[in-house]
Structure 1
Amino acid sequence: MSRSPRASRHRSREAALQVLYALDLSHREASDLAGAGAEAFERAAENFELPEGARAFAKELIEGVMAHRAQLDEVVAGHARNWRLERMAAVDRNVLRLAVFEILYSTTPTPVVIDEAVELARRFGGEKSPAFVNGILDAVAHAVRPEGV
């Protein structure tokens, strides 16, 4: 049975989040995607049983977030009132990076990006993560994609 494109993209985001989380906690850089990041990616892709197209999307997300991480962190920090990036839970920080990357660099509709991020926060974050992520992404979306909100 084939999965819907939306389900595949959701699973791609889950896999990308796991890799970004692992790279963040190990303080690895984008250039390390060929090393430990590649191993983490393969494990995540297997765990989520990602088909080839979904693997490509997950890898695109990971590489995009890592390539633009400084800018993404600046955007997140600029909209996270009273929260320094390093004080945020690692899951929340990486969900936000992933979603802000999609808001800035993809054509995925803003409500879809935010809904997906909130779902990731609900699944992998703490009790308050969904509301925290939603609030910051809503502010980001209004600032950079007001027509899509």
Structure 2
Amino acid sequence: MRATARIEGAYLWLIGDGKERAALEALSREQGIADRTRFIGWVDEPVHHLAAADAVAFPSRHEPLGNVILDAWQAGVPVVSTRAEGPSWFFRDQTDGIMVDIDDLDGLTSGLQALKDNPDLRARYAAAGPARLQGMFSEDVVVDAYLAAFRGELGT
């Protein structure tokens, strides 16, 4: 939210709901972006909302995987993510999108600003994400990985 406040003309859609919503609504007012912030709430299929975005910010501190990133990639949307545990495992900085350190507001803002200002960069990462998703998480890749693991354990 603070990054959005620093980027002229940027809008923020927050998908999801929970006990932090009231605090986030207050923060949007405090940051002067209440008119540029939409609280979408919980949706079963976030990919459809993500597909309407120019970029996805994923500023998580603790994340075992990063399903939001995978959903954004499925939607063909570029991502700026923190180097949280899960994303660091599969997300390649400057190849699949932009990674920044955890709690690095300047880095997050800079990454989002770069995507806003550079349509070629945005298009490059928008194409790279789905390719990475397919290459790591497609049904065939996952089944092959399981089969390889089973073969290794069984010694065949």
TM-score range, shorter chain: 0.3 to 0.5
TM-score by length of 1: 0.33
Larger CA Rg, structure 1 vs 2:
2
Higher share of residues assigned strand: 2
- Bigger relative contact order, structure 1 or 2 (CA pairs below 8 A, ≥6 apart): 1
Answer 1 or 2: which has greater helix percent: 1
